[in-house]
Chain A
Amino acid sequence: MPVVILSHPKEQVLFTNKPAETLFKKITNTKRGLSYSDIKIILPDTLKAGGSGEFTNVECQIPVNGKKTSLWLEISSNTVTQDNEPYTILLLADISDRKIKELQMIQSLEKERSLLEMKTHFISMASHEFKTPLTAISSTMELLQTKLQMDNLLDQFYTHNISKISSEIFKLNTMLDEILTLSTIASNNIEVRKQAVEIERVIADIKYQYFSERKDDRVLNLKISGTPHPIYADRNQLSKIFTNLVGNAFKYSSSNPVVKIHYQKTRVVIKVTDNGLGIPEKDMPYLFQSFFRGSNVDSIEGTGLGLSIVKDFVERNNGSIFVESKENKGTTFTIIFKYPDHIPAA
């Protein structure tokens, strides 16, 4: 390791070793020996760190004389006084390689971050832009339907085919929303706004909002046991979690799905159950991956994004999710949230 000992009042280099000579030849870009004035260029940084009795470390960038390059030095220094005279001991290390790699890493991280931001921004913009023509299409469909109805021309043929278009528009819109949610998740731009939430209220709301007055007359059965206790979570995300799971339960079965909320001593256990298609054993490991769809759901539309969003939201809210399923018997998703020790005031 390069070592230099200096005397300031006399402006003298008292000692240097071979590595120090080599290092300073690189900096001064000459072949002559090391002088006090050569050391001076690194002194301001070093002495600022000051320190007596203990070694202090600084990193500094020193320009190479006559070249456009520079070296990075790590300087460990200590000033000791002997016979009323201060001496400074410098231990030097050329850390240029490490610094260059560090800078490259920071730059590539920065580049990656801005690319990710651009991607998220693009997806967000694109999915909003898609909604404009989608809205125009669906409104025009409704205009046609209303006019046909008013003119008494809306027969079964028109009704059937108009409803097919409407349902495809609805699916496209759901897909856009899911892609948007996933891209926000991927960019880590998603905020979790936790508050005290009564889970049975969330389920009751989505039951009313999404799953009442179904065309097929099926209903969502809600069973609650134990003493109700609030959890600390993001209401919006909880609502998305259960809208998705209950939506799936309706989609992949033909009977009435059941949501059981069981308040236990320290946690609440929520089970969403259907008696439908079930999930084949071999699909289980991939169930929560984006764009994965079960091998037995070919004829049923879906994006394969829902469950990956569900899992992400459950984990963001410190919950856990499990799934049990038997093909052709049904599926149960179990979600557990522990009660908070205390709920911070809003």
Chain B
Amino acid sequence: MNKTILLIEDKPTLLDTLKSLLELYHYKVIVAANGAEGMEQARLNRPDLVISDIYMPVLNGYELLEMLKKDDALCNIPVIMLTAKTEIEEIDLAMQKGADGYVTKPFVFKNLHAIIKKFLH
């Protein structure tokens, strides 16, 4: 059965492109445009993996990450953070808050896919 990925990103173009890329590799993709929508989709669909941007309106990636990791039903879903910031501190912060992986923007899809595969296969 196809694995389900919840993709959370507030930039529509990137969201659309990433969704298409993941679908080419036969993943089932659910999308959300911010952390709050993402949380709702996570509760509703129980995805196998979450990929989330950090800087988003309403509820940002860090806040979402904290909520996911505190939720007994969702805390085991691996979360990969996407960030435009390359500072070590930023990456450390994501890992401290419980992220399972991170990818800096712009990324090579092959690298992102390698991390996805690590969690899903």
**Chain A residues in contact with chain B, CB under 8 A?**
128, 131-140, 142-143, 146-147, 150, 169, 173, 177, 236
Contact = CB atoms under 8 A, between A and B. Distances in A.
Given A128-B84, A236-B88, A135 B24 contact: no
B18 A139 contact: yes
Contacts of A177: 86
A139 B18 CA distance: 7
Contact of A143 (B17, B84, B85, B105): B17
Nearest to A131: B84
A173 B106 contact: yes
Contacts of A173: 106
Q: Is the interface of A mostly helix, strand, loop or mixed?
A: helix
B20 interface: yes
Contacts of A150: 24
B109 A146 contact: yes
A134 B24 contact: no
Contact of B105 (A131, A142, A147, A236): A131
Contacts of B105: 131-132, 134-135
A147 B22 CA distance: 11
A131 B109 contact: no
Interface size class of B (residues with CB under 8 A): 10 to 19
Nearest to A184: B87
A135 B107 contact: yes
Given A132-B84, A146-B24, A177-B86, A169 B106 contact: yes
A136 B14 contact: yes
21 contacts: A131-B84, A131-B106, A134-B105, A134-B106, A135-B84, A135-B105, A136-B11, A138-B108, A139-B18, A139-B21, A139-B107, A139-B109, A140-B13, A140-B17, A142-B21, A143-B109, A146-B24, A146-B109, A147-B24, A173-B106, A177-B86
Contact of A136 (B17, B108, B109): B17
A288 B13 CA distance: 40
B106 A139 contact: yes
A132 B24 contact: no
A134 B14 CA distance: 10
A77 to B, nearest CB: 53
Given A134-B105, A137-B106, A142-B110, 17 more contacts: A132-B105, A135-B105, A135-B106, A135-B107, A138-B107, A138-B108, A139-B17, A139-B18, A140-B13, A142-B21, A143-B20, A143-B24, A146-B21, A146-B109, A147-B24, A173-B106, A236-B88
Nearest to B107: A135
Interface string B69-86: 000000000000000111
Contacts of B11: 132, 136
A131, A150, A177 interface centre (most CB from chain B within 10 Å):
A131
